[in-house]
Chains A and B, each alone.
Chain A
Amino acid sequence: MPVVIGVLLSVLYGQFLSSGAVPVALLAESGVQSSLIHVQDAAQRSGKLDAVVVGSSLTARMHESFLSESGFELATVGLDGQGPTTGLDVVVATDIDVPVVLIEANFLERVRGDNASTLLDAIDGPIGQLNSVFPALRAESRPSSILYSQLKTRRDGGLGTSDPDVAPQVAATCLRFDSAHTTVLAPELDPVLSEQLQDLQGEGRSVVFYFLPDNGRMTDDQQAVAEAYAARFDIPILDLRSAELELTYTDGLHLNVASARSVAHVLARSALPVESLCS
């Protein structure tokens, strides 16, 4: 009987979620669950996406719904505590069908994280299949995450605007570096990330880097690493740090929800369609 009651509650809960009566979680109280929210969504919408955004916890703040308010279909694979190599692992391993891959370049020097297998386990196999069928079982539906998301959003000043044209004149600066570009620091390129970029381009996908606003935390070393990859693989960089937006940080590094929403609008609008990028 308790199992029946539990299943009925889950079905009812799923209905509330589907109808919007219960909002899904934009944030989670756990880094892994936050990452799962994004990864499950990306896997779920594979094939229907215009672009996927891959990065660290900075990117994780840009919820997929914010990016898609631009009119394009975008997914976020922003992973708490991880660099983009783990996110790219997820994109490749789950065979997410997407023509454009936007990669956060603030922390490209970060070593690979260790929770890619956890994330992949969560979307592969029978449990992953259940997640895709029953919305109530997804990470974004966890009651504890929804409560956290609501409390955190309220505390940080609300959701911001859903209108991507509130600041239409704001755009990211586009940077390009040719293969002759060198930096004084001349960083070594990580072979794993290099191979991932090579594979993505070899599959005919467009790759774009972006610098997210980080409250001036990015060091010259980190900038040099990003430029070196951009030069080596002929990848344009969208610099959102220069966009004239009023931004608020929750902890000196991460954007609050409203600011992340504004930045998401600028990023999506600047990057897509990719054919007109940097024009």
Chain B
Amino acid sequence: MLFTSAGFALLAALTFTGFYLVGWTRVVPSGLAQRAQSALLLFASLVFYSFGDPRLSILLVAMVATNALLASRLIRAETTEAQRRTIVRAGVTINLLALGFFKYALLVAELLLPARFEESASSIPLPIGISFYTFQGISLIVDAGRRNDDLASALGQARDKGVLNYFVAVALYISFFPQLIAGPIVKASSFLPQIGLHRIRDIRWETVVKSLVYGYFLKLVVADNLNEHTAALTQGEFGGLTKTDLLLLIFGYSCQIFADFAGYSLIAIGLGALFGYDLPVNFNRPYISRSITEFWRRWHISLSSFLREYLYIPLGGNRRGVGRTYLNLMIVMTLGGLWHGGDLNFAVWGFAHGSLLAVERALLGPNPTQVGSALVDGVRSLVVFVVVSLLWLFFVTPDFSGSWQFFETLVQARIGLNPFGGGLPRQTVYGLLLFSVPVIGYHLWAFGFERSRASSVAPQPIGRTSVLRYAELGFLGLLVFLVSTNSGVSGDFIYFQF
């Protein structure tokens, strides 16, 4: 079910009404009301996930049950350290096996097995959101194994209220519908303590409204409109295009993928806040980054954090010497690339990012994000944007040869400085330029809930004075107007395929 569909609007409205009706009535005791709220959210999440293909929920339920069982063993006081290590290994392995089977069976069959297995492997469906909920399962198991205080306390409290309550809590953590399919990836230790009785008066409406308006604007107006104009990249039609045309296309895609994914994340954050749950910020204006290192602190933050905490640090991080640090960076990023899918394109994309991180660390040291002069910072941001954009090519072209063909054409094509005089239709150039403007603007203006660019001055939330507040309201109203009048043809979110 898409956040942009009428069916979802109905589901969200019904769930919201039921959720706060339960919390509002004084007839129901608070403990029971809290459990009813959690059960309602869980039910809505299952409807959301299985809408269109109920079979998908079988794997989800199985993974929830497995992770819940293992976590319950991990938080028992009598479980020994050795047993905990075994359970953690088993839990991580089960989650990775599920992910690997459904996501990489075809890749393995292509690379390692006889040809007759390829057909069978290609018929294995890819359950939507599996990359996200298996990672949340791993987070639950590893953190429970580490005896994270917040998590142990939350799991213990849920278990004390009964087995059913415990399973509902874990199931809600793994399948909470706002972030089930494409994140942000939430840590169990930050989500589970939030399960409690939520009342309508506690809703942070400012977060809800801003996140939803910005999110839907980015998705429907920016990403969905850009989608039609960047189609040449997916179709591999580069004949007759100039260098300017090709760069315009890939910069347009850069804006599109940002608007699509950041839009989804903002909608998820807004919906989470609507039901009283804080979800982590996933994007912090990544295209103003002055280094690849900084880019990964601003882009898909929840994935970067996950990879750092559960992969990079366990591999040794930067504690085992310079060479091993570089190797770790490349391993983590290559695996991070493969997390997006079992194609060579994703591996190359991840390896390229890992290599750039290593080179950057070698040249600029471990902290290449120090603020410089405006000019130097501007040039660095531009270089990072160009590099990151060119690497997005591995995301958008159907295969590696398509990416290679783009680069070949880019080298051989004439420059053609006038974008309206090249090989792209004027409609396309107009669309790419017009709908990229909001993304550029998004990176230049601070939003209320976002931290501004790292600087010596503490960031100030906008809307503090009444004039700014009214201006901000008017701006949000304008975005609502554009969502209603200027949306593109609604399509899937790009990250649904991962």
Q: A30-B427, A126-B6 are in contact. Are A2 and B485 (CB under 8 A)?
A: no
Asked whether, in the complex, the Cβ of A5 is within 8 Å of the Cβ of B476, the reply is yes
Asked whether, in the complex, the Cβ of B480 is within 8 Å of the Cβ of A2, the reply is yes
Judge if A125 is at the interface, Cβ distance under 8 Å: yes
Which residue in A6, A7, A144 is a CB contact (below 8 Å) of B225? A144
Judge if B196 is at the interface, Cβ distance under 8 Å: no
* Distance between Cα atoms of A7 and B435 in the complex (Å): 22
Q: A2-B473, A2-B476 are in contact. Are A148 and B481 (CB under 8 A)?
A: no
Q: A2-B479, A32-B228 are in contact. Are A127 and B489 (CB under 8 A)?
A: no
* Distance between Cα atoms of A126 and B9 in the complex (Å): 12
Judge if A29 is at the interface, Cβ distance under 8 Å: yes
Question: Quick one: CB contact mask for B412-436 with A, threshold 8 Å, 1 for yes?
Answer: 0000000000000111001100110
Judge if A233 is at the interface, Cβ distance under 8 Å: no
Q: A6-B479, A7-B480 are in contact. Are A13 and B474 (CB under 8 A)?
A: no
Question: Quick one: CB contact mask for B222-258 with A, threshold 8 Å, 1 for yes?
Answer: 0001001100000000000000000000000000000
Q: Give every chain A residue within 8 A of B477 (Cβ-Cβ).
A: 1-6, 8-9
Judge if A10 is at the interface, Cβ distance under 8 Å: yes
Asked whether, in the complex, the Cβ of A2 is within 8 Å of the Cβ of B209, the reply is yes
Q: How far is the CB of A257 from chain B (nearest CB, A)?
A: 14
Q: Give every chain B residue within 8 A of A28 (Cβ-Cβ).
A: 427
Q: Give every chain B residue within 8 A of A251 (Cβ-Cβ).
A: 425
Judge if A136 is at the interface, Cβ distance under 8 Å: yes
Asked whether, in the complex, the Cβ of A13 is within 8 Å of the Cβ of B481, the reply is yes
Q: Please give me the residue from chain A that is nearest to B472 by CB atom.
A: A2
* Distance between Cα atoms of A188 and B43 in the complex (Å): 55
Judge if B213 is at the interface, Cβ distance under 8 Å: yes
Asked whether, in the complex, the Cβ of A31 is within 8 Å of the Cβ of B486, the reply is no
Residue of A1, A29, A148 contacting most chain B CB atoms (<10 Å): A29
Asked whether, in the complex, the Cβ of A142 is within 8 Å of the Cβ of B486, the reply is yes
Q: Give every chain A residue within 8 A of B18 (Cβ-Cβ).
A: none
Judge if B483 is at the interface, Cβ distance under 8 Å: yes
Question: Quick one: CB contact mask for A83-111 with B, threshold 8 Å, 1 for yes?
Answer: 00000000000000000000000000000
Q: How far is the CB of B227 from chain A (nearest CB, A)?
A: 10
Q: Please give me the residue from chain A that is nearest to B427 by CB atom.
A: A29
Judge if B478 is at the interface, Cβ distance under 8 Å: yes
* Distance between Cα atoms of A5 and B209 in the complex (Å): 13
* Distance between Cα atoms of A13 and B473 in the complex (Å): 18
User: How many chain B residues have a CB neighbour from A under 8 Å?
Assistant: 28
Asked whether, in the complex, the Cβ of A5 is within 8 Å of the Cβ of B228, the reply is no
> Which residues of chain B (71-112) have a CB below 8 Å from chain A?
none
Judge if B462 is at the interface, Cβ distance under 8 Å: no
Residue of B476, B482, B484 contacting most chain A CB atoms (<10 Å): B484
* Distance between Cα atoms of A9 and B473 in the complex (Å): 13
Q: Give every chain A residue within 8 A of B484 (Cβ-Cβ).
A: 6-7, 10, 136-137
Judge if B342 is at the interface, Cβ distance under 8 Å: no
Q: Give every chain A residue within 8 A of B425 (Cβ-Cβ).
A: 251
* Distance between Cα atoms of A151 and B433 in the complex (Å): 14
Asked whether, in the complex, the Cβ of B480 is within 8 Å of the Cβ of A5, the reply is yes
Asked whether, in the complex, the Cβ of A142 is within 8 Å of the Cβ of B474, the reply is no
Q: Please give me the residue from chain B that is nearest to A12 by CB atom.
A: B481
* Distance between Cα atoms of A194 and B6 in the complex (Å): 36
Asked whether, in the complex, the Cβ of B483 is within 8 Å of the Cβ of A6, the reply is yes
Q: How far is the CB of A35 from chain B (nearest CB, A)?
A: 10
Question: Quick one: CB contact mask for A11-34 with B, threshold 8 Å, 1 for yes?
Answer: 001000000000000001111110
Which residue in A126, A127, A143 is a CB contact (below 8 Å) of B482? A143
Q: A2-B209, A144-B434 are in contact. Are A31 and B228 (CB under 8 A)?
A: yes
Judge if A70 is at the interface, Cβ distance under 8 Å: no
Asked whether, in the complex, the Cβ of B431 is within 8 Å of the Cβ of A6, the reply is no
Q: Give every chain B residue within 8 A of A2 (Cβ-Cβ).
A: 209, 213, 473, 476-477, 479-480
* Distance between Cα atoms of A32 and B486 in the complex (Å): 13
* Distance between Cα atoms of A152 and B482 in the complex (Å): 22
Asked whether, in the complex, the Cβ of B430 is within 8 Å of the Cβ of A29, the reply is yes
Question: Quick one: CB contact mask for A114-158 with B, threshold 8 Å, 1 for yes?
Answer: 000010001001110000000011000111100110011000000
Q: How far is the CB of B442 from chain A (nearest CB, A)?
A: 17
Q: How far is the CB of A13 from chain B (nearest CB, A)?
A: 7
Asked whether, in the complex, the Cβ of B6 is within 8 Å of the Cβ of A127, the reply is yes
Please list the residues of chain B having a beta carbon within 8 angstroms of any beta carbon in chain A.
6, 209, 213, 225, 228-229, 425-427, 430-431, 434-435, 473-474, 476-486, 488-489
Given contacts A8-B477, A10-B485, 16 further A-B contacts (CB under 8 A): A2-B473, A2-B477, A2-B479, A5-B473, A6-B477, A6-B484, A9-B480, A13-B481, A13-B485, A29-B430, A29-B434, A30-B225, A30-B431, A30-B488, A136-B484, A147-B434
- The 8 tightest CB contacts between A and B, nearest first, are A6-B480, A5-B477, A2-B476, A9-B481, A6-B481, A2-B477, A29-B431, A6-B477
- 12 A-B pairs within 8 Å (CB atoms) are namely A2-B477, A4-B477, A5-B478, A6-B476, A6-B478, A6-B480, A7-B484, A9-B480, A10-B481, A30-B228, A32-B228, A143-B486
